[in-house]
A and B are shown apart, each in its own frame.
Chain A
């Protein structure tokens, strides 16, 4: 760990203490995990604290952890849907990753950070659209990337790659119609998780 990351992790520990569920450093990046109840307060402090100063929210990413690892479902209650934030401080020139899991696997909700960074607006809409995480306090939580009237959340692991519906032009009806998808699902190279250190590559 270089001196800069060392300092950042020290400041984080002093400022937040027990409110961080975990703080990990890997590949030159620091990740903190916070509980859903502390999430909004922690990111607010990250933005405003003079020694942290994360003025920019670069990215919000929703992740569905339900198929993680070698097939077995590691999906304990409240460990399925995570929201991952990538923050950037121009003043101190460092980055931070913040992860917060939504407590309910069936109806994932998390606080919205729209009030802190204007850039969160569309990014949270996207995470809602594609992963299905609700952001409470968001003023305009509409779908953004998928079609008008789309059903489902495509980036969930139980959503098939080819989807459920397809469109075609119906000459009799004279318009574009929806119908159940007719493509056979196909997998050319199966997904395999090998033992750690397979092929002698990586950081082992």
Chain B
């Protein structure tokens, strides 16, 4: 009998299914994974160290670069931490805007996730459908902040500016006729809220389309049902949060259990899985997109009826209006001090967290009273989830590792920080 030994396989760091720069050392017995050792850090930029040498305000755009699939949620946690330390109130309208954009971000994140997850295990069409809807929502990002990927829209004390009255439109070119343009721009004639309302009118139908492609699809079920099963006890021990925890049957959602902003006034449900496998987690995420649609609709209604300020009027923290800076000496000084020295945050420490699309994203900030953080610690869900890769992959076939990568929902900006 010939001697058969385990062999190791190097997966990544440049692999299309690695969702970024993951190097995975797989120890294999035939095609069965005996041990998986993820090597991370290829995208480590030292965000925590950089934040120590920037003023509190300057770190906001760095947060976008963490989980670049759910940018606004990262900013949100950071702003919450700073606000908690400063002890300032955020205007109600800004809270609704934040909740609305958090949910838009959740939809954006889940679209990429489900699209690329399905693409990784063989369903090509999904990614095209998902990115079609994603492009529309990115236009909303662009309308509100000027950037499609890294908005830096949330600021300590509120949001940067109020919702715009117009949407960017398609411009004529030699590939698009007048009538096509008219059709494309039909929903973009009104304000941003009109566009969003129209989008979330048709979005549930898009979700139905995705489900017809995947939910009862035999191949999809063969690849995901019973793969990467995590028991509720193990999910807790491994520090899971978000859809990864709910997929294992634990009804835990920070939006409900530890409500922040205005979530306690909104009506929505929390989907919970049963078996804790990749399929249940997929179903949870699918349902979360529908629930986000409900939340966004409620926010749109409220925002239409209640105009008001969107950032705190404490000019020690938020800049004064441009016209005021030009005419008022005191406001000019405020503006200058704010953007040169920055605001000082009282001594203390705080851990702020929200229900990020990927799980619990936390910012632990220590201030010693300076204009810069003493220490910023970023607790990312992706890092913790990826740590469970070894345990989840053991005993599965090598092809299932790709399914696990998808379901873990890792983004390397977030894992490596």
Q: Which residues of A contact B49 (CB under 8 A)?
A: 154-155, 159, 161
Is there an interface contact between B371 and A145, defined as CB atoms closer than 8 Å?
A: no
Is the CB of A6 closer than 8 A to any CB of chain B?
Answer: no
Assess whether A193 is in contact with B369, with CB atoms less than 8 Å apart: yes
Partner-binding segment picked from A11-19, A113-121, A176-184: A113-121
In the complex, chain B residues whose CB is within 8 Å of the CB of A143: 41
Type the 1/0 row for A25-42, where 1 means its CB is closer than 8 Å to any CB of B.
Answer: 011010100000000000
Q: Do A154 and B316 have beta carbons less than 8 Å apart?
A: no
Q: How far is the CA of A110 from the CA of B350 in the complex (A)?
A: 23
Neighbouring A residues of B377 by C-beta, 8 Å: 59, 61, 63, 84
B87 touches A202 (CB 8 A): yes
* Complex contact A191–B362 (CB within 8 A): no
With contacts A196-B346, A201-B316, A202-B346 taken as known, whether A58 is within 8 angstroms of B379 at the C-beta atoms is yes
B interface footprint on A65-96 (CB within 8 Å = 1, 0 otherwise):
00111000000000000001010001001010
| Contact, CB under 8 Å: B347 / A196 | yes
Q: How far is the CB of B311 from chain A (nearest CB, A)?
A: 15
Q: Contact partner of A118 among B55, B84, B238, B374, CB < 8 A?
A: B238
Q: A57-B239, A119-B237, A201-B86 are in contact. Are A155 and B48 (CB under 8 A)?
A: yes
| CA distance in complex: A180, B386 (Å) | 33
Contact of B368 among A68, A146, A202 (CB under 8 A): A68
Decide if A170 is an interface residue (CB 8 Å cutoff). Answer: no
A203 sits at the interface (CB 8 A): yes
Describe A's contact surface by its main secondary structure.
loop
**Which residues of B are found within 8 Å of A161, using beta-carbon distances?**
46, 49-50, 52-53
Q: Given A27-B85, A86-B362, are A203 and B346 neighbors across the interface (CB < 8 Å)?
A: yes
- Are A200 and B316 neighbours in the complex by a CB distance under 8 Å? yes
Contacts of B361-388 to chain A: CB distance below 8 A: 362, 364, 366, 368-372, 374-375, 377, 379, 383-384, 386-388
Task: Give which listed residue, B85, B241, B344, contacts A194 with CB less than 8 A.
Answer: B344
Q: Which of B40, B372, B377 has the most CB of A within 10 A?
A: B377
Nearest-CB distance from A185 to chain B (Å)? 10
| Chain B hits for A187, CB < 8 A | 53
B88 within 8 A of A: yes
* A9 CB, min distance to chain B CBs, angstroms: 17
Nearest opposing residue in chain B for A120, CB measure: B239
How many positions in chain A have a CB within 8 Å of any CB in the partner chain?
Answer: 52
Contacts of A57 in B (CB 8 A): 239
B279 within 8 A of partner (CB): no
- Given A192-B341, A199-B316, are A145 and B44 neighbors across the interface (CB < 8 Å)? yes
Find B346's partner among A67, A122, A130, A204 (CB 8 Å cutoff).
A204
CB nearest neighbor in B for A163 = B46
**Smallest Cβ distance from A2 to chain B, in angstroms?**
13
Cβ–Cβ contact A117 & B350, under 8 A: no
Asked if B250 is an interface residue, CB under 8 A from chain A, the answer is yes
B14 lies within 8 A of chain A by Cβ: no
Which listed residue (A67, A69, A122, A192) contacts B383, Cβ 8 A? A122
B236 within 8 A of A: yes
- Asked whether B97 is an interface residue with its Cβ less than 8 Å from the other chain, the reply is no
Distance of A144 Cα from B22 Cα, bound (Å): 12
Cα(A146)–Cα(B370), bound, Å: 28
Q: Mark B340-352, 1 if CB is under 8 A from A, else 0.
A: 1111111111110
Chain A residues near B (Cβ < 8 Å): 26-27, 29, 31, 55-59, 61, 63-64, 67-69, 84, 86, 90, 93, 95, 97, 117-119, 121-123, 126, 130, 143-147, 154-155, 159, 161, 187, 189, 191-194, 196, 198-204
- A84-B364, A189-B342 given; 12 more Cβ-contact pairs under 8 Å: A58-B239, A59-B362, A63-B366, A119-B387, A123-B383, A189-B341, A191-B370, A191-B371, A191-B372, A194-B370, A196-B369, A198-B344
